[in-house]
Amino acid sequence: MAAVENPAIPKGSIVVVTGANGYIASHIADQFIQAGYVVRGTVRNPKKSAWLVPHFEKAYGKGKFELHVVPDMQADGAYDDAVKGAAAFVHTATVIDFNGDPAEVIGGAVKCGQVAIEAAYHEPNMKRFILTSSASTLMPLKKENFFALKGQTVDENTYGHDAKELAWAPPPWGIEHGGAIYGASKQEQEQSMWKYYKENAARRPDIVVNSIVPDFNFGRSIDPVNTGDYFIDVQDDAALHLAAAILPDVKGERIFAFAFPMNWDIILDILRNQNPGKKFVEDFYGEEYPVTVKPIARAESLLRRIGRTGWISLEDSIASNTEHLKGTDRASNALLLALPLIEAKVPKIPGFELTWADDFMGRRNTLPDPDNWIIDTGTSYPGGPPAWGTWELQTYTDSVKNVRVNGKGNLQITAIKNLTGGWTSSRIETQRTDFVAKPGGKMIIQASLKTPDMRGHGYGYWPAFWTLGSEYRGNYWNWPYVGEIDIMENVNLGDLTWGVLHCDVNPGGFCNESNGLGNSTTCPNSRCPGNFHTYSIEVDRSSDPEELRWYVDGVQYHQVNATQMSDKVWAQTVHKPHFVLLNMAMGGGFPDGVAGFKTPTNATASGGTYEAEYVAVYNTPSYNRLNVTVGVGSK
């Protein structure tokens, strides 16, 4: 690095770096050692962090790095020994608990920060305190709030306004709750630090405080085996921590480590170019960063002042990350750490564009994303037909015992028999109610699903994947007039899948209600229960006559066309928008009718689980592409 004249802390000084075994902190330690300082790295677990000393001794010789154990970062006086004789304190460690109570996590992060800065102020030799903050302190977390900022400029005084609101929201929580808790904890931690700095300026005018506010970090790890999994260039972030400690005129600043605008589509393009022949997911059609980040130029100028040429490009950073992992036991996962790839879970359909999807990527034992799904509860809609209109026996709940994301990219709906003989299960329906094939176009609604396999103990089980006409929502008494498309129904867990259209009036009418116009088939290559199969409905308004076609694993087994009913009934059933549902009922008219007796029986086993890998809606290009909500993981 370039020599800094009269650095704020003399070369050879001790610099404390907390959480030194972490991805970013290990780079910070490396930058300070390269610049001529001695690093005292604090860790909570000496066994897991034992690699640090031999690593830095091998790179720089003995005496450049010390390991100091701080088992409890929130304990009063936790860093009192660690700071003795130190001239700078870089506080990177924080409380990260995405499953925790907001009071505990946010309070813990603030306490952790307070303990650190108090220790720094108690050390007479201390000159600099640098906090590693986060971009999550800066921007709103809700998508609509984030993109509402389009055209605005953010600066050092900007803090996101909705993280605290989301963190303290009552349950049920969606997948965004853990991120909200983290964002709120980092925001309150940083604001607490600035408050302490101002309140103690007269007592210790010789101490300067700065914060580094980094966005996504990419780049190689210091040690690819020991520093964890990440897809986030880290060297620039570490260098800014060094600059904040040694440049005399950098005082009381929030330094924004934002190199270049990026979204997942840009990263996908880079990965495709760097890895020809590998299969990646389709573009997410990500939006551009909506705001101008004013302090970016300041951060880059600090990098140049300490001898760097400016920001490392995203291309070079990603290449560094993946290349550095080659030859380690994580080499096969190098790209998986960055994005869903190799086998995309939500598939592309030639000639169609993805309109909406959910791949159920989320934390284990959480409810499905509330931005995508409504969870129905009870035994009917409010004021609607009892027993959901089909005489099913279960009570639907929003308990994770009945409906959850499993942390591996699957939705799971489980039917449970209670001690009194009653059943609980779950039913979810999309927030969106606008899925429709436009005139002259086509729509496909598709899911990868696995129904339970109870091997003779499945009487009464009734998993389904279906749609209802949007006019049903809020009315609940206009069935079958609104139209219902049963894309997949399985009753009593037999080796058949049913596709059915309901329409017109009940009883009778063009759809022969209450039976509907249906057909059934076995699943190709493997049994329907216990195996994943792809179930689809194609709504074709480009053909003459217009037609609905049912498929399992790409094999068509049923169709209904417009000549089978009046133009008015077809238009009401097919031309109007629908919403999508997934549920698993227990008992009711359909299972009883197929079995020939009342279900479920005493022999019906509890605990059958219905799983979904994804649900997706596609339209031909004449229908404008809309928002797509998919996770950043793959199976």
Residue 37's pLDDT is what?
Answer: 97
For residue 257, what pLDDT is reported?
80
Per-residue pLDDT band for 348 (boundaries 50, 70, 90) equals confident
pLDDT tens-place string over residues 360-383: 987 789 999 999 999 999 999 999
Task: Return the top range by mean pLDDT from 160-174, 358-372, 526-540.
Answer: 526-540
Contacts 24+ apart (CB under 8 A), 147-153: 147/287, 147/290, 148/290, 149/290, 149/291, 150/290, 150/291, 151/290, 151/291, 152/290, 152/291, 152/292, 153/291, 153/292, 153/293, 153/294
pLDDT above 70 (res 102): yes
**Of 131-140, 453-462, 625-634, which gets the smallest average pLDDT?**
625-634
Mean pLDDT of 8-14: 96
pLDDT in tens, 416-443: 999 999 999 999 999 999 999 999 999 9
CB 300 within 8 A of CB 293: no
Structure tokens at 99: 């499953």
Question: What was the pLDDT predicted at 512?
Answer: 97
* Residue 62 binned pLDDT confidence (cut-offs 50, 70, 90): very high
Q: How confident is the model over 441-498, as pLDDT tens digits?
A: 999 999 999 999 998 899 999 999 999 999 999 999 999 999 999 999 999 999 999 9
pLDDT in the model for residue 625? 38
Is residue 605 scored above 70 in pLDDT? yes
- What's 14-267+295-316's CATH class? alpha beta
For residue 222, name the pLDDT band (cuts at 50, 70, 90): low
What average pLDDT score do residues 123-132 get?
A: 97
CA distance 502 to 479: 9
Task: Say if residue 630's pLDDT is above 60.
Answer: no
**157 pLDDT higher than 90:** no
Where does the pLDDT of residue 228 fall: very low under 50, low under 70, confident under 90, or very high at 90 and above?
Answer: very low
- For 348, the token pair is 């592309």
pLDDT for residue 511 is more than 90: yes
How many Å apart are CA 434 and CA 445, to the nearest integer?
Answer: 12
pLDDT of residue 581: 99
% of the chain exceeding 90 in pLDDT:
62
Matching residue, tokens 């026996």: 393
Name the band, by pLDDT with cuts 50, 70 and 90, for residue 255: confident
Distance from C-alpha of 189 to C-alpha of 177, rounded to nearest angstrom: 18
For residue 524, give Cα distances in angstroms to 147, 422, 449, 531, 559.
45, 35, 14, 11, 18
**Omega before residue 514 within 30° of 0, cis:** yes
- Segment (H or E) for 464: strand 461-469
Given a cut of 90, is residue 606 above it in pLDDT? Answer: yes
Report pLDDT for 185.
86
Average pLDDT over residues 148-156: 74
Q: Would you list the DSSP string of 65-125?
A: EEEEE-S-TTSTTTTTTTTTTEEEEEE------TTS-HHHHHHHHHHHHHHHHHHHHH-TT
Query: pLDDT confidence of 96, banded at 50, 70, 90?
Result: low
Place of tokens 């604001």: 191
In degrees and rounded to multiples of 5, residue 314 shows phi and psi of -60, -40
What's the pLDDT at 23?
79
> For residue 627, is pLDDT > 50?
no
Mean pLDDT of the chain: 86
More confident residue, 292 or 108: 108
Count of CB atoms situated within 10 Å of the CB of 8: 19
Least confident of 91-95, 292-296, 311-315: 292-296
Residues 6 or more apart from 589 whose CB is under 8 A from it? 390, 391, 514
How does DSSP assign 148-170, residue by residue? TTTT-EE-TT---SSHHHHHTPP
Q: What is the pLDDT of residue 277?
A: 63
pLDDT at residue 308, rounded to an integer: 86
- What is residue 190's three-state secondary structure? helix
Reported confidence tier of residue 256, pLDDT bands at 50, 70, 90: confident
In this prediction, residue 231 carries a pLDDT of 39
DSSP state letter for 173 = P
* pLDDT of res. 260: 65
User: Given the structure tokens 């309109």, which residue do they identify?
Assistant: 355
User: How far apart, in whole angstroms, are the C-alpha atoms of residue 549 and residue 558?
Assistant: 6
Q: Is 442 helix (H, G, I), strand (E, B) or coil?
A: strand
Burial 370-401 (b: 16+ CB within 10 A, else e): ebbbbbbeeeebeebeeebbeebbbbbbbbbe
The whole-number average pLDDT for the span 122-146 is 84
Mean pLDDT of 401-408: 91
Question: Distance between CA atoms of 13 and 35, rounded to whole angstroms?
Answer: 11
- pLDDT above 80 (res 631): no
pLDDT in tens, 199-221: 999 999 999 999 998 876 655 65
Is the confidence at residue 197, as pLDDT, over 50? yes
The hierarchical CATH code for the domain 353-619 is 2.60.120.200
Q: Please check whether residue 533 is in contact with residue 523, taking contact to mean a CB–CB distance below 8 angstroms.
A: yes
Quick check: 276 pLDDT over 80? no
Share of the chain above pLDDT 70, in %: 82
pLDDT at 633 over 70: no
Query: Cα dihedral sign for 256, 258, 261, 266?
Result: negative
Cβ–Cβ < 8 Å for 411, 390? no
Largest pairwise CA distance in the chain: 91
Average pLDDT of span 494-519:
97
Residue 348 has, within 13 A of its CA and on its CB side, a CA count of 10
Other residues' Cβ atoms within 10 Å of the Cβ of residue 122: 14
pLDDT at res. 451? 98
With bands split at pLDDT 50, 70 and 90, how would you rate the model's confidence at 224?
very low
Specify whether the CB–CB gap between 596 and 305 falls below 8 A: no
Domain boundaries, the chain: 14-267+295-316, 353-619
Q: Please say if the pLDDT value at position 588 is more than 50.
A: yes
Separation of alpha carbons 161 and 137, rounded Å: 9
pLDDT at 510 over 60: yes
pLDDT band at 124 (very low <50, low <70, confident <90, very high): very high
Q: At 309, is the pLDDT very low, low, confident or very high (cuts 50, 70, 90)?
A: confident
Question: pTM for this structure?
Answer: 0.52
